[in-house]
A and B are shown apart, each in its own frame.
Chain A
């Protein structure tokens, strides 16, 4: 057992963990943040994707012990109160979720992609970069649409005031 301290969705948590505990298990079982899902055991489905120090990671690939001191954002920390953020809202508008199991991972991965590209994205880039997140329900059609729409919202919000003024 080892003691770790993580900042998760803006709050600090100190907990004892077994050496083999994965970050995904830590979030789900010890912090009861069950929005982070586990869909495989080979790091290939992406259901467990969270942001760690601002970057998308598959939390089933990281030991909780190795995340000591890290800042983590999970799906529970994305909305502002009851209000969906722009990525969540785009998923809702575009019907980019059916069963919703892949959804938290999709939203977190999409957030990272959108930020890294500063909202400038095309279909092929989204398809290439989201390839590590599996969805069995949607055929991806509406997920790609939602990510492109969210990217557009992001780009506009970041555009210089001048550009949007006229």
Chain B
């Protein structure tokens, strides 16, 4: 890799002074009390409030809603990766039974509906800032709900058919005739970035629309020039998709009298979607009400608005009837926002003792046909050096358009990619130097005394005890017992391998959150909050937090989410932000509520506020038997006992940990079985360990899934996606997953009053690396040095053949 042409530097220029060193106890007596009270429910595996409805079939998922007079939409999709639309004929479809409307991109333009307002550039103070090549704001491409003049990926929506029944809509969609003029296409990021590639957007002749550099290029250059050792590698972290088991869906209605749209669509944040859809329709946000209740999985894919959300709203207005769209699984495979697809060239310079001196990285993100999100590229950019103390680094981060479905943040956006790169690179370095890879890691880890630690690209790691995570993981794994297990396996003719990885990740996310807390006269406490769970159990863990702070039973606290007429502000759930942001604002709101209640209680008891002690939901006047509870106050006050608290918090946190995978390979069938998996995760303060472990398990499965089976395969010649169903997209299943050994480490973060980091993505982040390294370890005796994901039997067989051929040639 060559130095960046201008040798320049861009991106973050934050000084240590920008990192607030908070002393939360100084934020007022109520906050101190709230923090002191924190530990009654918090930290306990309280069973979930949401389970009962979900276990009895009473969940409210999007497709469960049936609106009066509901009709159904089916989408006509492009079969070309890249083509100009010559004409669309809807006559036959319109004449088909039950059809009410057929709409195209031209109609959409006529009705003044604009592109989806994705806002793809990460923009909080601590995000790695990305710019266009040569500087400036990148051109991101207009993502219209229906293609207007040309299609840029297979599956892009071209027309929408509305009919009385889903069957009639699907039948009629087949009758819509679209004439295309096929254009040359490109699906691979490296090919798209190369000279002479087909151009996807006329505005970006070379397809590369983001190019930023970070770190200290000159210092890195110098370090590499004089280093005793250097290693380099070139990886492609493959494209996968979220596969939420609930396919995406949306149903909308329009009220011509009030001019209001009502949309039911499960997502990662109804408030955000409301705002973005208002921009798309060019209307005031209060003309849209979005409902998002039970959501059958998100993992990032549902954080962004889908074209069909706008289409059902628009079609509902046009037809005067509610319109529903529910994706089939094939449509989900084709057009759910996908994940990863990063090419990364990395290099590491070491001194003679194995101390890391410098790192280079050249990252290229495949965003697909439109830029929906640059989060993966940006997140990964900040963490290229992983858990290691690498004094200087030089990074070039680029993003490129291709004729593929758009990518978006997918579980642990951007972090598994760079963790995979650094951990594999460290392993290569250990091999080159002939040292124990674990010792090499230990020698270079960031140590607790260095916290907060500024890494070579300018991110500040808040806290963590990385070596302790390592030790604990090794112990839980029984690392020392491996040799005996390997012997035993080899007696059965099997190859055993183990793969270790450290990881650190960042949780930044949308900075604003609001909490409203109201106490009712029946003792019920309602908390309105703008995060959006999809299985993370917020109704339970958030209730635990508020119950602790207000010192009331958790059964009395109810979390209200998902209706934008009730929830007015909220950043949604992404980037592991929910507990930290919601927890903080709920702590502040609890403190405010107690302060307000104390004033009222003092008035009511005719005493001074500081004469009151508060415990178990009751204010007592000291030295008397006079008292009043929150519930009494709510019953006796004329006005509601209610507070609304806003908070804005930019400081990121850095969850971290270590994980180890053991695999057993059958040398006859090349089948790989996961036999052991250990994960140690520092999530900061853990509110509900049962929920956090559950998040870890699911996270591991998603990471292992990508390493082992999952792949959004695309045929380069035809541009056709070839994984369109569960028959051709390998999934983690009960019979290919082991039990996991997970442990939570709680190094309290100084950046927020609860000390929360984040749980939920740590299972995924190191897993691509651990599984791959385990397979390479098992195959080391056969001379295999590299293998690309997914590690299917065929891939393993191929790697073994290639290694044998290489050795034969030597």
Contact = CB atoms under 8 A, between A and B. Distances in A.
Interface of A: 18, 20, 28-29, 32-42, 44-45, 47, 74-76, 78-79, 82, 84, 88, 91-93, 95, 97-104, 107, 123, 126-128, 130-131, 133-144
Nearest to A104: B57
Interface residues of B, number: 58
A72 B664 CA distance: 42
Contacts of B735: 127-128, 130-131
Contact of B737 (A32, A34, A139): A139
Interface in B226-265: 242-247
Contact of B50 (A29, A100, A102, A107): A100
Given A79-B56, A91-B51, A131-B734, 5 more contacts: A101-B294, A134-B733, A136-B243, A138-B698, A139-B763
Contact of A37 (B246, B534, B702): B246
A101 B329 contact: no
A88 B776 CA distance: 42
Interface stretch (B147-155, B210-218, B689-697): B689-697
B796 to A, nearest CB: 22
9 contacts: A34-B59, A38-B247, A75-B57, A91-B51, A95-B693, A101-B61, A101-B244, A101-B245, A142-B694
B97 to A, nearest CB: 12
B739 A141 contact: yes
Contacts of B59: 34-35, 100-101
User: Main SS of chain B's interface residues?
Assistant: loop
Contacts of B739: 123, 141, 144
A37 B61 contact: yes
Contacts of A42: 329, 725-727
B371 interface: no
B57 A33 contact: yes
Contact of A39 (B57, B167, B245): B245
Contacts of A142: 694, 697
Cβ-closest 3 pairs across A and B: A35-B57, A100-B54, A101-B296
A135 B61 CA distance: 16
Contacts of A92: 47-48, 51-52, 55
B535 interface: yes
Contacts of B725: 40-42, 44
A139 B536 contact: no
Given A44-B726, A128-B735, A138 B54 contact: no
Contacts of B51: 91-92, 97, 100
B654 interface: no
A121 to B, nearest CB: 13
A97 B296 CA distance: 11
Interface centre among B64, B727, B739 (most CB of A within 10 A): B739
A33 B56 CA distance: 11
Interface string B726-756: 1100011111010110000000000000000
Contact of A140 (B54, B55, B328, B732): B732
A15 to B, nearest CB: 15
B675 to A, nearest CB: 13
B55 A95 contact: no
Contacts of A101: 59, 61, 244-246, 294, 296-297
B542 interface: no
B329 A41 contact: yes
B737 to A, nearest CB: 5
B700 interface: yes
B698 A139 contact: yes
B726 A45 contact: yes
A126 B702 CA distance: 21
A47 B55 CA distance: 13
A130 B732 CA distance: 12
A75 B734 CA distance: 21
Contacts of A45: 245, 329, 726
Given A20-B167, A92-B47, A40 B698 contact: no
A135 B705 CA distance: 12
B537 interface: yes
Contacts of A20: 167
Contact of A133 (B50, B244, B330, B734): B734
Contacts of B243: 136
A28 to B, nearest CB: 8
A75 to B, nearest CB: 4
Kindly name the residue among A29, A99, A101, A126 whose own CB sees the greatest number of chain B CB atoms within 10 A. Answer: A99
A136 B56 contact: no
A61 B56 CA distance: 23
Interface centre among A95, A98, A123, A130 (most CB of B within 10 A): A98
Contacts of B113: none
Contacts of B45: 95
Contacts of A82: 52
B245 A102 contact: yes
Interface in B163-190: 167
B535 A140 contact: no
Given A41-B725, A140-B737, A100 B55 contact: yes
Given A37-B246, A93-B47, A138-B697, A130 B734 contact: yes
Contacts of A104: 57
A126 to B, nearest CB: 7
B299 interface: yes
Contacts of A131: 733-735
A148 B754 CA distance: 36
B554 to A, nearest CB: 15
Q: Which of A34, A78, A139: most chain B Cβ within 10 A?
A: A139
